[in-house]
Structure 1
Amino acid sequence: MHDTAHAAPPLTLHSRIREELRERILRGALQPNDRMPSESELMAHYGVSRITVRQALGDLQSARMIFKVPGKGSFVAAPKPFQDLSRLQGFAEAMNASGHETFNRLLSLQTVPADASVAERLQIAEGTGVTAIQRVRHLDRQPVSVDFTWLPLHLGERLKRDELATRDIFLMLEEDLATPLGHADIAIDAVPAPAQIAGHLHVAPGTPVLHIERLTHDRDGKPVDHEHLYCRTDTFQYRLRLQRR
């Protein structure tokens, strides 16, 4: 006798259609920008109503697996690039590993006196000189984030300006400055994009952007890199796996 007390409920018609289409996309039978079967084709294939088909396609669109073009139908969406926040790694390090092109547009590199917030994060006296860097990060030739970085002067003044366009500061710290990294503290919220940041990201002022504050420490626990990142949400995402303890 089978125990059915914990058996999963049967899939509804639209859920079954959605899952079969989803599986075809994930295994590559339907490639990015391929046209999806039309509503009429799906109705005939599954023997269901138009509303059932539209529910299935609507679920896939909500999951950003497909997109609709008025008058032409639905098409497979390209997967959104992402960075795993559970790993301490640089942007280019993560994106290049998954086959994406990255580069940075350097806005400024200068020595400035640390304000109260930066001084607190880097555990130095207010007014102490620090290296301040502003960059626009590009992914596959589109701007995806504006990064503000502050480093202690003994590290920042040794960074090579020309390499900031192509290399992660994390790798430069470890490979060039013999500063192995240990851990980072991260805070995440959403903010309306100020006009200057919106201009760099090619979005309208006030558009919601992801704001990440990250304080990275070396292996001995000393803070070495303080950042504020302002990221577009439509072309890129961060992911994080959490374990229940």
Structure 2
Amino acid sequence: MADVLRQRITAGAFPGGMLPDERLLTAQLGASRNAVREALALLRAEGLITRRRGVGTMVTMPKYGHGLDRLAGLAETLTGHGTVTNEVRAAEIVTDPPPVITERLELPAGTAVLRIERLRRLGGLPLSLDTSYLPADIGRAVAAGDLTGRDVFALIEESTGCLLGRADVTVHAVTADADTAALLEIACGAAVFAIERLTRLSDGRPVDVESLRIRADRMTLHATLRR
């Protein structure tokens, strides 16, 4: 029951964020009053809804969908859901990057790369902390662009004159450390989505090693899979 309600909430099925009362939910879901009450209690414990006597049950904060079956930047994905802004925390050449970074970018060990770190907000509230490593020749051109207002993907395509081709993506859940939690304005130890992504140009060249930490209470990840 909680899964059904959670899916409806994340799909935006309740206009204005107000859920029907327990009696109506019981009729709509074909469930017992106790089952509905237990499901609502679980969703409340998760922080997805709030319940107030005389007011009703409301979604605490809307969640936004981010598809994993299309290569798109965050601002592009969230078009129509509000304004995405970027606080550039770092845009610097790293002369001695971690070996795993140069390996994934298929560069000789010790090759300089550009590191970009941005805190991304939607509607003024923190949404994700993104860190990207790019080959220095491309990174310098990207860093000269509008990192506060545009997606890195768009700047890569613009500076190289080449479209992005594909990306390898890994998603897992981690708990936020103290620094990440402070930046995302969540409790230390709260669950966040961790996305590791290697993006290539259409000619196959690896161009962006990216690590994202996304607030799990503000976003859902989805994909359309075909057999």
Q: How many Å separate the matches in 1 of 2:70 and 2:43?
A: 25
Q: Residue 35 of structure 2: which of 49, 55, 64 is its match?
A: 55
Distance 1:195 1:63, change over 3 A: closer
Q: Residue 94 of structure 2: which of 112, 124, 133 is its match?
A: 112
Shift of 1:73: 5.2
- Which residue pairs with 2:18 in the alignment? 34
Q: Secondary structure at the match of 2:77?
A: helix
Shift of 1:58: 4.7
Larger Rg: 1
Which residues of 2 match residues 1-245 of structure 1 at below 5 A?
31-34=15-18, 36-37=20-21, 39=22, 42=24, 52-56=32-36, 58-59=38-39, 67-72=49-54, 74-77=56-59, 79-96=62-79, 98-113=80-95, 114-161=97-144, 163-244=146-227
Q: How many Å separate the matches in 1 of 2:90 and 2:63?
A: 29
Query: Does the CA contact (< 8 Å) of 1:211 and 1:229 recur in 2?
Result: yes
Distance 1:73 1:136, change over 3 A: same
Shift of 1:163: 0.9
Distance 1:203 1:79, change over 3 A: closer
Percent of counterpart pairs with the same letter? 31
TM-score when scaled to structure 1? 0.76
TM-score when scaled to structure 2? 0.82
Where in structure 1 are there 5+ consecutive unaligned residues? 1-13
Distance 1:149 1:219, change over 3 A: same
Where in structure 2 are there 5+ consecutive unaligned residues? none
Higher relative contact order (CA 8 A, sep 6+): 2
Letter in 2 for 1:104: N
Deviates more, 1:155-164 or 1:180-189: 155-164
Q: How many Å separate the matches in 2 of 1:57 and 1:182?
A: 48
Distance 1:75 1:102, change over 3 A: same
Aligned length: 216
Distance 1:182 1:130, change over 3 A: same
Distance 1:239 1:63, change over 3 A: farther
Q: Secondary structure at the match of 1:226?
A: strand
Q: Runs in 1 of length 4+ with deviation above 4 angstroms?
A: 57-64
* RMSD (Å) for aligned C-alpha atoms: 3.2
Deviations 1:182-216 (A, max 9, x none): 00001111122122111111112222211111000
Q: How many Å separate the matches in 2 of 1:223 and 1:109?
A: 19
